[in-house]
Chains A and B, each alone.
Chain A
């Protein structure tokens, strides 16, 4: 586990370096938005990882309740924590992107709101974990909350989407061809892979730490 984590770390570093080089060196200056569009290479991958992380929490929570393996609980815990970091960055970077392009730091737009709700939900998840002393009960309750929260995500998404929207529709994850030139798309994909590796690195490292913490507690 520890060596796997180290390998993932170096791969992530390599990928991030490549992503940065492509984002600032290879990808062209976008015509409408100009230089500031390069925030996209940070914002979109972190948003993807945020959803991925909470998907992992959902699956690991179900596995924990079905099999009661500590490993599944550790994965859920680690993934939620790393997911909160990525979600926070998604919101912050999106806000910084929004100021020059939309003219406002924050607007109660659909996707901004839904990611913010996601962020608060999983902060609550971590808070709950922190407040229960007995590890087994904490794991059980957190798993239930992780499942409910994940089932809630589509509901949150559509409810705020109907409420109001300003965010441009997705460019990549939609039926039909992506609405961007291949260079920009390739840069984006490299960054998505790099940030996913970074997520995996953080999670494996955190899982390892949680395992050792548990061992220390039992010793």
Chain B
């Protein structure tokens, strides 16, 4: 089988599992709703303050739901004793990485689109003008987050303190992506053009490239045994 076919098989398997159980997606949507409540209670009804804090809150929501979702990447395989099956995948294991990464991106984009919509409705902000730029910025940030997240999820899958170790390892590494994407989101939501945040976009592109390629190269070593 070709590389793309093998990667697609992994993604399709995860999508099927998710479609049948809706376990992760349901939980994440519910979690996103709760986050909205929490932000609303913490910040009160002050519209100006909310608008100022919005980029940060939005990303806080993405990160927290991302940590939950990404951390579960290999849980199905662990729980159903399919880890060995993954190990037995013929040929280059980076196909498994690409497949899992694609599945995670799908999941995160869904949750993010939902969160943005909920934010727009509940906090009564008009995002339509900023939407194309916002999509680009959020997508670039999400790719970086998911690329390292998928790799680290595989790394921590067999460790007892998995839920603890995963964010501890992931968050410091993600500092550049988070800084870049939050700053860019801030500018985009304030109505500035993409050119104003060109340096952050460059950083995000470089970071995404480095993360994805290093994930491809090192995933083999993690799925060795």
Is any CB of A less than 8 Å from a CB of B in the complex? Answer: yes
Tell me the A residues contacting B by CB distance below 8 Å.
Answer: 65, 117, 120-121, 124, 127-128, 131-132, 137, 140-141, 143-145, 147-149, 151-152, 155-156, 158-160, 162-163
Closest chain A residue to B224 by CB distance?
Answer: A140
A11 to chain B, nearest CB (A): 34
Contacts A/B (CB < 8 Å), 12 sampled: A140-B222, A140-B224, A144-B155, A144-B218, A145-B152, A147-B214, A148-B218, A155-B176, A155-B207, A158-B176, A162-B199, A162-B203
Q: Which one, A65, A127, A159, contacts B165 given CB within 8 A?
A: A127
In the bound complex, what is the Cα–Cα distance between A159 and B206 (angstroms)? 12
Residues of B within 8 A of A152 (CB): 173, 176
Q: Per-residue 0/1 for B187-205: is the Cβ within 8 Å of any A Cβ (1 yes, 0 no)?
A: 0000000000001100100
Given contacts A132-B159, A163-B183, contact A144 B175 (CB under 8 A): no
Residues of A within 8 A of B225 (CB): 137
The answer to whether A148 and B176 have CB atoms under 8 Å apart is no
Residues of A within 8 A of B159 (CB): 128, 131-132
The answer to whether B173 and A121 have CB atoms under 8 Å apart is yes
14 additional A-B residue pairs with CB within 8 Å, beyond A128-B159, A140-B221, A155-B176: A121-B172, A124-B169, A127-B168, A132-B159, A137-B158, A137-B225, A144-B218, A145-B152, A147-B214, A148-B214, A155-B206, A159-B175, A163-B179, A163-B183
Q: Which one, A132, A151, A160, A163, contacts B210 given CB within 8 A?
A: A151
A53 to chain B, nearest CB (A): 17
User: For chain A, what secondary structure do more than half of its interface residues adopt (helix, strand, loop), or is it mixed?
Assistant: helix
Tell me the B residues contacting A by CB distance below 8 Å.
Answer: 148, 151-152, 155-156, 158-161, 165, 168-169, 172-173, 175-176, 179-180, 183, 199-200, 203, 206-207, 210-211, 214, 218, 221-222, 224-225
Given contacts A117-B172, A121-B173, contact A151 B214 (CB under 8 A): yes
Closest chain A residue to B206 by CB distance?
Answer: A155
Residues of A within 8 A of B224 (CB): 140
Residues of B within 8 A of A120 (CB): 172
In the bound complex, what is the Cα–Cα distance between A152 and B174 (angstroms)? 8
Leading 9 A-B pairs by shortest Cβ distance: A159-B176, A155-B176, A121-B172, A120-B172, A144-B218, A159-B179, A124-B169, A117-B175, A124-B168
B211 to chain A, nearest CB (A): 8
Closest chain A residue to B169 by CB distance?
Answer: A124
Residues of A within 8 A of B152 (CB): 145
In the bound complex, what is the Cα–Cα distance between A50 and B179 (angstroms)? 23
Given contacts A148-B148, A151-B210, A156-B175, contact A128 B169 (CB under 8 A): yes
In the bound complex, what is the Cα–Cα distance between A65 and B217 (angstroms)? 11
In the bound complex, what is the Cα–Cα distance between A147 and B168 (angstroms)? 17
Closest chain A residue to B225 by CB distance?
Answer: A137
The answer to whether B203 and A144 have CB atoms under 8 Å apart is no
Residues of B within 8 A of A149 (CB): 173
Residues of A within 8 A of B155 (CB): 128, 141, 144-145
In the bound complex, what is the Cα–Cα distance between A210 and B57 (angstroms)? 45
The answer to whether A159 and B180 have CB atoms under 8 Å apart is yes
In the bound complex, what is the Cα–Cα distance between A121 and B159 (angstroms)? 18
Residues of B within 8 A of A65 (CB): 218, 221
The answer to whether B173 and A144 have CB atoms under 8 Å apart is no
The answer to whether B203 and A147 have CB atoms under 8 Å apart is no
In the bound complex, what is the Cα–Cα distance between A141 and B151 (angstroms)? 10
Best-surrounded residue of B161, B165, B173, B199 (most CB of chain A within 10 A): B173
Residues of A within 8 A of B158 (CB): 137
